[in-house]
Amino acid sequence: MVKFKATLFAAAACFGFAATSAQALDLFGPNSIFNPLPVQQASLPADPAQQVEPTRTLVDDPTGEQAGSITIDTKNRYLYLSLGNGRAMRYGVGVGREGFAWSGRAHIARRAEWPSWTPPAEMIKRRPDLPKFMEGGIDNPLGARAMYLYNEHGDTMYRIHGTNEPDTIGHAVSSGCIRMLNDDVVDLYDRVKIGAPVNVI
């Protein structure tokens, strides 16, 4: 039953987020845009049924973007974080399914650790089986971290976030958000800061 509910919630989780520990936009402060320091292994609640190896690996940067930029290759299901000096960290991701794919430029305007989820009213109307609110945690479809994508028009309603469905990584299954393994999204979250540019191609 828990797995069934998790799958049901994750299918709709992309639209409608309420965050805990959210950060305000700060493009020029000491924590802005990019943290080049190495990070430790993620510390996550144990869930033996969902223990999977992280996908991240250091590669030559194919994007041509500046250090601290995120590029999401939706065709090949990869997210690249440009590190500078021709190198990038590459992560496997899940992307929007048919009818929900998108492309364009945005930036990270908010971040949250173990975000809660509040589906909007229109989603509840379409899906009355969804909860009106879900606390952050290992069973939440947003996973361990969420990064909120904004553009010149404001909130895009798309996020880069973790998942409680690790088997969906590498597939087009979401409502447009970019899914990552919880271990990978914690690593990315610790490397990028508010204001980091995001290019979805």
Active-site residues, by number, are 161, 177
Cα separation, 189 vs 108, whole angstroms: 10
- Reported as half-sphere exposure (CB side, CA atoms, 13 A), residue 17 has a value of 32
Closest by CA position to 50, among listed 18, 2, 82, 87:
2
**Euclidean distance between the first and the last CA atom of the chain, given in angstroms as a whole number:** 36
Length of the chain: 201
